[in-house]
A = this chain, B = another copy of it.
Amino acid sequence: MKSERYKVGWQKLAEIDGEQGEKVIEALKNIAPDFADMVIEFPFGDVYSRPGLDLKSREVATVAALTAMGTARPQLKVHVHGALNVGCTRQEVIEVMIQMAVYAGFPAALNGLFAAQEVFDERDAENTSE
């Protein structure tokens, strides 16, 4: 039986990442199902569900960090979807990435923008409003 943290986390994951997040969990089922549970429980059950910072700001923080780090392209794309799902505009996502040129260099910003372009194109192809 799944824990309360899992239930809270699953709901939060669905709210933020929708279909994208579920695909990640599904992909983990084969190799590390326990870690799939942890992904739901800790980031989404424990952290994103905390009060004290609104969900839009949380996604701004994540998009900024993953763009700056430059080592997590698949997760960055999931969270560009996430940012748009919780109310960020495309322009806000672009602004965060441009700003990362200042802190992590122009290549980090460029690679972030090209990842965002792919997400925008996917959403256009699916007629998602944002």
Hey, which bits of chain A sit against chain B, CB under 8 A? 24, 27-28, 30-32, 34-35, 38-39, 42-43, 46-48, 50, 52-53, 56-58, 60-72, 74-75, 91-92, 94-111, 113-114, 116-117, 120
Contact = CB atoms under 8 A, between A and B. Distances in A.
A16 to B, nearest CB: 12
Contacts of A66: 103, 107
Question: Can you tell how many copies of this chain the complex includes?
Answer: 6
B102 A53 contact: no
A76 B117 CA distance: 21
A37 to B, nearest CB: 9
A103 B32 contact: no
A70 B72 contact: yes
